[in-house]
Structures are given as C-alpha cells and as structure tokens.
Amino acid sequence: MAELAQRPFPPGHYRLIIVGSGPGALQLTYCLDRLGIDHAVLSADPGPGGMFRRWPVFQRMLSWTKPFTGFERESRVYERYDWNSLLAEEPASRAVMARVMDGSSYFPSRPEMERGLVTFAEMAPLRIRFGCHWETTQKDGGDYVLGTSDGEYRTPLVVFAVGVAEPWRPAIPGLENVPHYGELRAAETYADRRVFIIGKQNSGFEIATGLLPLARQIVLASPSATKLSVNTHSLVGVRARYVQPYEDSVLAGGVVVLDASIDEVKRVGDRYQVQTRRAHDGAALSFEVDDVIAATGFATPLRDLTQLGVATFGQSRLPAQTPFWESATVPGIYFAGTINQGAPGLKKHGIPSNSGAVQGYRYNARVLARHLAESQFGMRLPRRRVDAGEVVSHLLAEVSRGPELWHQRSYLARVLVIDADQGIVDDGIAPLAHFVDSAGPNAVAVALESNGRDDPYPAVYVRRDGEVTEHLLEPHPLLNFEGDEYQKAMIATLDRVLSPSLSQPQR
C-alpha cells in the first residue's frame, strides 16, 4: 500500500498529460522533464515498456543494437547503430541497450528490450502513474477531461502514446473466432500440424519462422504479393530475419506463400476449412488445416477520440496528424510513439518514415517536446549562431552522421535559418513536411533520402522569398558526403540564399 500511496499525479488539473508508458511516452516525458515542463504521465500498465512487455511473440526484436562500431557508445553518432535505446542528455543514460544485452545477438531479446526501458526510466528518473486506465475523453471548455480508473483528469493538452497494438481483423466470415497474432499458443503445440496464417507481413512471417521446425505445413496468404525489405531498401516488407519461410516456399519445401483473398474460414470438427480465391485469376482454392492464425495487423486503441472528431485513416485507424503530430482535426490532442505513423511526411517514393519504430519516433518525441515548449509554454529555446564559413561543413557533417537524418529519411531535417539581421542560426531538427510547406525566412534544410533503388543521398531544400526548391545530391558508395564534390555541390546550391563567398546572407 505504501507504493500506491506514493503514486504520482493524483486526479486533478495538469497543463499537459501523457497517456502511455511505452518507449514513445518514456522518450517524450524525459524530454519534457529536461525542458522543465510540468506534466503528468498516466499508464494502464504496471510498469514501463508498452508492447515490449509482451511482444514480439517469439521474444526477439527486429531492430538491432550494434555493439562494436568504432564510436563511443555515449556519442551522438553511435545512435545510428543503436536502434533501440532511448535518447538522453546524460552520458550514463545513453545507449542503455548496449549495456543490458548479453552479446549473443545484435537483436535484443524482448526481455532485454523491456529491461533497457525500465533501466532508462529508473535512471532518468521518470515519474509515471501506473495502473491508471484511461477510459473516457470529453471536452469541457478549453480542457480535455480524461475519465480514468483513478478519477478525473483535466488538461488543455494531451499526448496519447498508446501504441498500435490492438488486434485488427478484416471482415472475413469466420475470422472472428480465429486466434490473432498475440493469442498464439505455445509453439510446441503446433508440432506436426497444418497451419494457415492469414497475412504476409512481418507478424505473419515471424510466426511462420517460429513454427518452421514444428508445423507439418505452413500456408501464408493475403491478397498482395510479399515484399522484402532487402528489395525495397526500406523497412517496407518482410525483414531479413523472417525470410526463411519465403525461401522454403520458393525452393518447394513445406511452406506455401499465396497471393489470394480469403473468402471464409469455417470450423469443421477439430479442423478448419479456408476458402480462398487467387488474386490474379480468381481461381478458388480450398485448404483443410488444423490451425488458422490471423496475422492481419493492428489498430490504434483510440477509444472515444473519434467521437471527439479525431479523424483516422487506413487499416490501423491511425489518427491523421499535422507534421508536429497534433491531431489534424482536433487541436490540443497530440500523439507520440508508433502512432506517429499517422503523420507520414513527404513519403517520397512511397517509403515511409521510421516513425513506426523506436529508432524513428524517439527523435519525433524530442522534436515534439521542443515544439510544445515553444508553441504552448511560451519558451524560446536557445539556438546556436553558425559562422558563414562553417555552414557547408556543418550541413554535410549532419547529413553524413546526424542520427536524426539517418533514421528519419525524407522526414526530419536539419534547418539553418538565414536572417539578414541575425545572421545564420541553427534552427535544429524539424519535420521536413513542415519546412517545405510553411512560410518563413530564407532558410536551408538538409535531409537524407532514399529512392528504394540507389544508395541514400543528401537532399537540400532551399527556401528563398517564401518558395522552397528541392536539390538532390549524388549518392556516395561509402555514404560519406563530406568530400570536395559534395562541398562544391552544396556551395552551388546555397548560392541561392547565401552570397557566393558564404560570408554574408543575401539581402
């Protein structure tokens, strides 16, 4: 009971409330704390970690933390190789994952991931009211009223970091009675059974990989063809760790990978009959199997937010968001963590940001904290003046080594504002979509971009007299954009906003 008595943030009025305690919420509350912004954090869970308290079902992450890189683990550049740790100002709290992993794999196990998040929360230390279930949401004047299991909370600003982990099933007759990804039984119970997996994304292939040594036959089916990340050069598609069932299929082993729509799943005795139609010719194919698993994706648990007017889209019912992750339809409601996928940015060449994963949304959270500080709390955060002679090398160093740009390609950018009176100022990291679509002073933004085919390349966006133009630099096979040719290309591009000598902003 002493623990309960010490729970922070009793019901009441707060200037800002975060709902959630997964990595997105942890990163945001950490960043707000360091900016000195008072806020409350409420979570239904008993401890930090969010979905990583349970998943992935086969207990190992898809995202790596590379232990040996030649860079200090406390350095900013190391973040490029560590996809799983949260960001911290104090060296001791950086790269936590590299410390908690046992070294047997560069993919942390699920317990290691959870331990890393708990360690980060304890070291910060972060204050969270656990065991507090958000149940209802209403608007009352300028406040949102959150009804919770502990009572009523009022706030003008609320950030929902509640994940995208609610099982989603398409409206296929009979599918409602089939176990979803998270309801998988113990793997050994699938020994010598025929298993039909609906869904050909990572969750489906993760299950198939785990059942390869057990199941007699595995069928993976969904309407569209399987994409592989090694082909898309992005996180779109099945990740390499889960490609083995695909190889088994193309080499005619015991796995079938099928492009077909599912008409019906019918229980027949202790088996299932699955009726499908092939996508390309409509031919009917029927399967008799022992188990069916719906790996059909996840939705966002927004409860009653849609009734407040929060617009959603897509299968995952992601809330539509502004480039700064505010609901596009209900001001004052923000999102953090993997829900940030609802702010897709430019999504050039169809390649999404990494906002669905820790290595992407940890940077969004830091940008959001600064944005909230300035737009809602009246703060003006310090910005560094940049000497004109330093501009080119600074931008090229950022695009070569800046972890924000590497992990959030075509999505987050380093922005320099060029002001005739103030000089050149580093405006920090900003959403690229905001930069290219908003008015403002002359400025330059650099991002790293990919087209799904070539090596990544720098992109420079120049805003002059309110108009933004795009300038792409060449890819480099060693991903080093600091050589002479890049310096020349950057100088030529910046000529549009800086004098040729780079000594004075152009008036």
Contact with another protein (CB under 8 A) among 36, 103, 282, 378: 282
Half-sphere exposure of 155 (CA within 13 A, CB side): 27
CB 172 within 8 A of CB 263: yes
Q: How far apart are CA 336 and CA 305, in angstroms?
A: 15
With CB under 8 A, what is the number of residues at the site for another protein? 42
Q: How far apart are CA 94 and CA 283, in angstroms?
A: 55
Counting contacts by CB under 8 A, is residue 38 touching another protein? no
Q: How far apart are CA 58 and CA 187, in angstroms?
A: 9
Counting contacts by CB under 8 A, is residue 331 touching another protein? no
The region of 29-37, 61-69, 398-406, 451-459 touching another protein under the rule CB under 8 A is: 451-459
CB of 479 to another protein, least distance (A): 19
Nearer to another protein, 18 or 258 (CB): 258
Counting contacts by CB under 8 A, is residue 466 touching another protein? no
CB of 358 to another protein, least distance (A): 22
Contact with another protein (CB under 8 A) among 41, 96, 295, 346: 346
Q: How far apart are CA 335 and CA 45, in angstroms?
A: 18
Backbone angles phi, psi at 230, to 5 degrees: -70, -20
Counting contacts by CB under 8 A, is residue 439 touching another protein? no
Nearer to another protein, 169 or 303 (CB): 169
Near another protein in 224-243, by CB under 8 A: 224
CB 18 within 8 A of CB 29: yes
Instruction: Report the run of H or E that residue 205 belongs to, with start and end.
Output: helix 202-211
Contact with another protein (CB under 8 A) among 304, 454, 470, 485: 470
**Residue 427, amino acid:** D
**Helix and strand totals (H; E) in the chain:** 12, 23
Backbone angles phi, psi at 241, to 5 degrees: -60, -25
Three-state secondary structure call for residue 104: coil
Q: What share of the chain is helix, strand, coil (3-state, %, to 5)?
A: 30, 25, 45
Contact with another protein (CB under 8 A) among 149, 177, 286, 315: 315
Q: How far apart are CA 218 and CA 292, in angstroms?
A: 10
Nearer to another protein, 87 or 220 (CB): 220
Contact with another protein (CB under 8 A) among 242, 294, 449, 460: 449
CB of 279 to another protein, least distance (A): 5
Near another protein in 171-200, by CB under 8 A: 171
CB of 245 to another protein, least distance (A): 19
Contacts for 395-401: CB closer than 8 Å, 24+ residues apart: 395/444, 395/446, 395/460, 395/490, 396/458, 396/481, 396/482, 396/486, 396/487, 396/490, 397/482, 398/446, 399/446, 399/447, 399/448, 399/458, 399/481, 400/479, 400/480, 400/481, 400/482, 401/76, 401/77, 401/80
Counting contacts by CB under 8 A, is residue 91 touching another protein? no
167 prior amide bond cis, ω within 30: no
CB of 470 to another protein, least distance (A): 5
CB of 449 to another protein, least distance (A): 8
CB of 323 to another protein, least distance (A): 10
CB of 161 to another protein, least distance (A): 20
The region of 12-20, 34-42, 342-350, 487-495 touching another protein under the rule CB under 8 A is: 342-350
Three-state secondary structure call for residue 491: helix
CB of 429 to another protein, least distance (A): 20
Contact with another protein (CB under 8 A) among 313, 381, 389, 420: 313
Binding site for another protein (CB under 8 A): 168-171, 222-224, 259-261, 277-280, 282, 311, 313-315, 317, 320, 322, 328-329, 342, 344, 346-351, 410, 436-437, 449, 451-453, 469-470, 472
